[in-house]
Structure 1
Amino acid sequence: MTNSIDNGAPGGAPGAPEGVRLQKVLASAGVASRRVSEDLITAGRVRVNGEVVRELGRRIDPENDKVAVDNVAVQLDTTKRYVMLNKPVGIVSSLADQHGRPDLSVYTAQFEERLFNVGRLDAETSGLLILTNDGELAHVLAHPSFGVMKTYIARVEGRVSPQTIARLTKGVELDDGPIVADKARLLDSSGGSSLVEVTLHSGRNRIVRRMLEEVGHPVTELVRRQFGPLHLGSLGSGELRDLNRDELGEILTLSRAAKTEGSNG
């Protein structure tokens, strides 16, 4: 679906107002009906480029202006797509693997849009991976400098002690420098293995596996359960779905905030 530009006069007559009425933009983006969108605006719940807008006559440029409702970002470009995949073990995080291994193209081929993956998961690591055609958002979510949190559940060899969990959050030294887990906790320890949850924002290669091996507990199974505000939930291995409106709003809000903070820094 494409948004038609409401120029305010037939044929774009000279002197016609530029842009599209804000309530029409909100309705086209699926936020609410035009009538309800008008109520949101007059209630002061809509921001354009960070400023509250209460006038129903306000016109905006959907391609360049940033809109938020209740401080949650709204995607105005309906050509953008955002998909969550529960990547199975054995799938390479590439759209065309040069060695002929199974890759993400089996999933992206299902969509008309040309989707690509946000970041990577090792072939032997399963879990949450985002597929999108939004390059700007993908850059922010994947780049380590923006500090997006990721949570993993690891099955490891041996019984992990509280002291080992403390080491992960205090920091361990690896070949490419020190690394600190933002959070770590022991979920289960029985028999000859343990289940550990690790949250960190580092984007370094195989970082969770290397951290746990460094503290004496090699990983036998690793799943990414959370990426920023997104949770894998009950999505089965190999299944994928579009992000819902709330999830999309959360990652767009995160992306915009990270970019603003990065530009101010």
Structure 2
Amino acid sequence: MNTTGDATDGEGVRLQKVLADAGIGSRRACERLISDGRVKVNGKTVSWFGERVHPRTDEIQVDGRKIETWHEFRYYALNKPLDVESTMAPGRGTRTLIDFVEDLTERIYHVGRLDTDTEGLILLTNDGELAHRLTHPSFGVTKTYLADVPGPIARDLGRRLRSGIVLDDGPVKVDGFSLVEQSGRRALVEVVLHEGRKHIVRRLLKEVGHPVRRLARTGFGPVQLGRLKPGGVRALTEKEVAALYKAVGL
């Protein structure tokens, strides 16, 4: 499925984003153009930069010049296997993400990273603004992880993690924690957080006495890994793309 920049919802995309994506200037500069009355949509001057448009069908002009606003954006989910580096560059004796998307004709980029010894969901796109917001901590997009750790799990562990644990580089709080399965000295726990510090899940669980044996990311914001097999790639649905846009305020 080919998803596009206007596939966010039935109301379209904010005008200033469309202008910025077309290379007119920064988002703030485009807002000034709109407020100054220099932008027209389908022949009508727009002075409110909250206006939503459809880049594929609406004609947009800046100072009387028609702007090419149609971009073919792509959005994919990849289930990264273990021992794969989170880079789109060819590896030197190791596998990288490019090995799983070499059949795709367009140039795409990975949204954030996973450690080589962490498997699971990675998003891929050529929508730079969305990728930036998904990874910037100020937007608070959560990631969900499933961790195999030594048990048993104390009943108050979730409360402790939500209250905050102090690590060497500062405190961290989880957004969610649940015990998925427990059998003898083995447990599966789910951790939800919007932190982006390196090895944060492993360091956090080790600090509370449950060093990670195996770790997988199962969710990135509203997008779930589901039944996608290791090494598998799928296009995101329009509903998933719309949910990602909503999560970062686009």
Please report the TM-score for the alignment, with normalisation by the length of structure 1.
0.69
| 1:106 Cα deviation after fit | 0.6
Verify the 8 A CA contact 2:151 2:185 in the aligned structure 1.
yes
Supply the distance in 1 between the matched residues of 2:208 and 2:187 (Cα, whole angstroms): 13
Q: For residue 153 of structure 1, what is the aligned residue in structure 2?
A: 146
Supply the distance in 2 between the matched residues of 1:196 and 1:247 (Cα, whole angstroms): 25
Verify the 8 A CA contact 1:108 1:115 in the aligned structure 2.
no
- 1:256 maps onto 2:249 in alignment: yes
Residue of 76, 86, 93 corresponding to 2:79: 86
- 1:222 maps onto 2:222 in alignment: no
Q: For residue 106 of structure 1, what is the aligned residue in structure 2?
A: 99
Higher relative contact order (CA 8 A, sep 6+): 2
Q: For residue 176 of structure 2, what is the aligned residue in structure 1?
A: 183
The structure whose residues are more often helix, as a share, is 1
Task: Give the letter aligned to residue 197 of structure 2.
Answer: R
How big is the alpha-carbon RMSD for the aligned residues of Structure 1 and Structure 2? Answer: 2.8
- 1:138 maps onto 2:131 in alignment: yes
Supply the distance in 2 between the matched residues of 1:142 and 1:254 (Cα, whole angstroms): 12
| 1:253 Cα deviation after fit | 2.3
Verify the 8 A CA contact 2:141 2:248 in the aligned structure 1.
no
Task: Give the letter aligned to residue 172 of structure 1.
Answer: I
Distance of aligned partners of 1:60 and 1:138 in 2 relative to their CA distance in 1, 3 Å threshold? farther
- Percent identity between matched residues is 43
- SS of residue paired to 1:234: coil
- SS of residue paired to 1:123: coil
Distance of aligned partners of 1:105 and 1:189 in 2 relative to their CA distance in 1, 3 Å threshold? same
Task: Give the letter aligned to residue 149 of structure 1.
Answer: T
Paired residues in the alignment total 203
Residue of 1, 11, 35 corresponding to 1:46: 11
Q: For residue 129 of structure 1, what is the aligned residue in structure 2?
A: 122
Gaps of 5+ in 2: 16-40, 55-68
- SS of residue paired to 1:140: helix
- 1:59 maps onto 2:24 in alignment: no
Which has the larger Rg? Answer: 1
Verify the 8 A CA contact 2:81 2:231 in the aligned structure 1.
yes
- SS of residue paired to 1:128: strand
Q: For residue 201 of structure 2, what is the aligned residue in structure 1?
A: 208
Supply the distance in 1 between the matched residues of 2:129 and 2:78 (Cα, whole angstroms): 19
Verify the 8 A CA contact 1:125 1:223 in the aligned structure 2.
yes
| 1:165 Cα deviation after fit | 2.2
CA deviations 1:72-116 (Å, max 9, x no partner) are: xxxx84511111001111111112266542111112322111111
Distance of aligned partners of 1:93 and 1:247 in 2 relative to their CA distance in 1, 3 Å threshold? same
- SS of residue paired to 1:107: helix
Task: Give the letter aligned to residue 233 of structure 2.
Answer: L
CA deviations 1:191-215 (Å, max 9, x no partner) are: 2111111100111111111100000
- SS of residue paired to 1:46: coil
Supply the distance in 1 between the matched residues of 2:43 and 2:216 (Cα, whole angstroms): 43
Task: Give the letter aligned to residue 108 of structure 2.
Answer: L
Q: For residue 233 of structure 2, what is the aligned residue in structure 1?
A: 240
- SS of residue paired to 1:187: strand
Gaps of 5+ in 1: 1-25, 33-44, 51-57, 69-75, 258-265
Supply the distance in 2 between the matched residues of 1:48 and 1:109 (Cα, whole angstroms): 30
